[in-house]
Structure 1
């Protein structure tokens, strides 16, 4: 086989013949060169395209790698979060269980004004135990009916703060009991009745019970285990200051319920708190103090002129009036001795209208006695009209009404109100008006010559509502009973109590 000649290697500098024309008149060499150049151009575009693909691939591959790394980090983060969430859920369930187990309702009572009913106090230690049990039951019923989110296993705790010695003396002077040991026994019985309920003796001194209650209120309000607070202080408008600060916090407002014993002071009217009344547990009125020998408190309205015949038959009573006036018309009556007890509740429940007295001997009209109208109702003498600002100012002085208006005070140095102030004559008149804003528990038949409380509603009339039972601008919310409204103010006789 003949040996072929080696192919000739073209130099890079080999000249390329010019190619002209449309290809019909080109030489074979020019045709080859033309075709070569076309292939070369195609290869160049292909190489550029491949390089572009490789560059894009590298960019996409780097972005993908970063995404994979980010995804891996997120996946690991999600795993950690899921593990943490499971741990938190488990801890939350344990916490909720502990919260339910440790949940409690706190009852805070100012025992100097929110006082348990007489029938409980008179039972001593047994009454204290009964009071603790009733209080717990009432609160349990209230919580279960009004707060379904509070677990049924919630604990009921109570703190009652009072000056026990002062309360005992008050009950003795008000003739609720002659045995001053019954009240301390009641206190002990209350504390022993339930393990989470305490009756604390704060001793004598100004606002000691108030301060205890307020500090306990602040403490329990911030405690997440405390689900509800029942505050008993309706007798004292001083609590409206702290409550007025709380009204700006909705969650705190929902956490407080006010217990009503004696009617709320007017300052409570604008507060948005819930109100609960345990009528069979607490007294609906304050205890008024009277010296020994004065009529026993709480006679029913209408016993009036002759209530002292039930309590102190030996005390003479004379009625001074014009000869033409008769005090009462004769009426049948049950015997006063038919009452089985000497307490005010038994007298009020069983006493009937007393018969008319024998016609009194006509004498000179004695204006130093107790003024009464034709029905025998006591009529308070008029006072000045100092204006609301002056009344508010005198109230803020915290003067002791009993000390300045009766010249006596059963608490003496232990009294929580001011004794050493020197009021002007005008301030004394305003103080009389302040004292008469509280209805007398004896009603219109009060026999106490030195009584400082109101025997008729002092509030302005309702105008067009004159036919209403309570014709004053407070209507049914007025603390004065119906019989102290629409009274005949014409004085026709004076009752003189002679000791």
Structure 2
């Protein structure tokens, strides 16, 4: 047999040697080489596939490892977040508790118009303390009924702003209190009654109380600790301006409640705020110093030229004294002057012509007594003790009904008509009425007038001393009677005859 070449001397593409002498077909060796080459190609393809799979495995393994690391980080992050969430939940719970402890309801009151009821004002310091306690209780009851979401531990704080001196004078002139110190004592009692309640004296000046209330409203409206604001200013339509600015904020509408005292001004009707009334804690009507049925008064000091206004007296003749002590009737200003204002009336009165006709003095003692200056002189009254005066005041008898036998309010009058006072009580009631200065001053020509035309209070000092031309009573400058009603000549030299 011929010798075959070594395998190392052959390439994959070498020709297959043939068997000598075979001229017919392919030799068995060539056939085997062909099959071997085919298997080798298959093995190479298989190896290539395995290598590709290994490369893919390595790549996927790297991706898997990265995903595992990311997952571990996410799991650790979630664990930290859960721990943080628990911590924050504890903080929120604690802060909610702190919010309940620090939350408060604010009551803002314009004390110049929303005024506590008369019985509380008259009682001075104890009345102020009771007013603070009642206000707190009324607010608590309101919050529990209308806002159950507010904690029962909420604090109630109140700010009342008013011109205390002016309000004191008004209350005394309206016979609500007997002296200005009554209201001051009430203010002190209110501030002392509750530590979170203050009655603030803003002094005299236009809109001082209003500005205080508005600024406090703005300051507390967005304060999260302030859960509710109760605004007392129904008498003043000026508050509708600030309320109109916040009406578009739903939170503000839900947070503000209007306190009803005196009837609301017409402008309040279009506002969506809640309204609440605290029983009879506040006066349901404004203080009216001119509720005797008379029109608006003229300033004191016009003397005999005082406008007759709408007095029921049809004709009057005012007797005056000239330098020669001759008595003469002075002309009275025209009733139409009431619409021209105080200054115009005073100017017209100053230009009145001198009287032409002189008449002899009239000594009809049933007329109105006047001194040499034409000032009305009130006859003396009985000296009732302070306890009796206070008792009669608290009876709330209608002065006009019992002392003038008339009352412009009729059945609508809020004072007592169906009581039968004794003579002593009538004398005391007359004294109470005269403790209020007449709105027509010393020139009053109403024969049935029940109010004071001169200061009835004792003079200061044993000798009745006092600064000449000033207020010489023991109230000094705080006296509600004007200066011209002090230091008066009490000698009656003439009588005004009213026909």
Report the TM range for the smaller structure's normalisation.
Answer: 0.5 to 0.7
CA distance in 1, matches of 2:5, 2:30: 23
Q: Aligned partners of 2:83, 2:498: CA distance in 1, in Å? A: 89
What per-residue deviation string (whole Å, max 9, x for no partner) do you get for residues 347-380 of structure 1? 369979x9899xxxxxxxxxxxx9x9xx999xxx
Q: Deviations over 1:179-227 (max 9, x none)?
A: 2111001001111111111111111111111111111111111211111
Separation in 2 of the partners of 1:86 and 1:376?
70
In the TM superposition, what whole-angstrom CA distance separates every residue of 1:362-410 from its partner, at most 9, and x where no partner exists? xxxxxxxx9x9xx999xxxxxxxxxxxxxxxxxxxxxxxxxxxx999xx
CA distance in 2, matches of 1:320, 1:344: 36
TM-score, length-scaled by structure 1: 0.58
Q: Which runs of 5+ in 1 are unaligned?
A: 298-316, 322-338, 358-369, 378-405, 409-446, 449-496
SS in 2 for 1:281: coil
Q: Shift of the alpha carbon at 1:271?
A: 1.1
CA distance 1:261–1:25, shift in 2 (3 Å): farther
CA–CA distance in structure 2, aligned partners of residues 153 and 376 of structure 1 = 46
Structure 1 residue 234 displacement after superposition: 0.7
Q: Which has the larger radius of gyration?
A: 2
Residue 343 of structure 1 and its aligned partner are, at CA, apart by 4.5
Match of 1:15 in 2: 14
Q: How does 1:59-70 map to 2 (within 5 A)?
A: 59-70=59-70
Q: Could you tell me which of 343, 346, 355 is aligned with 2:396?
A: 346
**Helix, strand or coil: the match of 1:149?**
coil
1:122 aligns to what? 122
Equivalents in 2 of 1:45, 1:36: separation in Å?
14
CA distance in structure 1 between the partners assigned to 2:188 and 2:9 by the alignment: 126
| Corresponding residue of 1:72 | 72
Q: Contact between 2:230 and 2:258, CA under 8 Å: does it hold in 1?
A: yes
Shift of 1:41: 2.1
Normalising by structure 2, report the TM-score.
0.58
- The answer for the alignment partner of 1:53 in structure 2 is 53
Displacement of 1:94 in angstroms is: 1.4
Shift in alpha-carbon separation, 1:235–1:243, aligned structure 2, 3 A: same
The 8 Å contact of residues 129 and 189 in structure 1, kept in 2 or not, is answered as: yes
Q: 1:236 Cα shift?
A: 0.8
1:96 matched to which residue of 2?
A: 96
Contact 1:175 1:296 in 2 (8 A): no
Unmatched 5+ stretches in structure 2: 19-23, 295-310, 316-388, 413-438, 442-448, 451-496
Mapped partners of 2:47, 2:440: distance in 1: 120
CA distances 1:146-199 after superposition (whole Å, capped 9, x unpaired): 111111011100010101110010011222222211100100111111111111
Task: Report if the CA contact (8 A) 2:229-2:256 is conserved.
Answer: yes
Match of 2:163 in 1: 163
Aligned residue for 2:184, secondary structure, equals helix
**Shift in alpha-carbon separation, 1:348–1:92, aligned structure 2, 3 A:** farther
Alignment check: 8 A CA contact 2:313 2:498 kept: no
Q: How many residues align?
A: 322
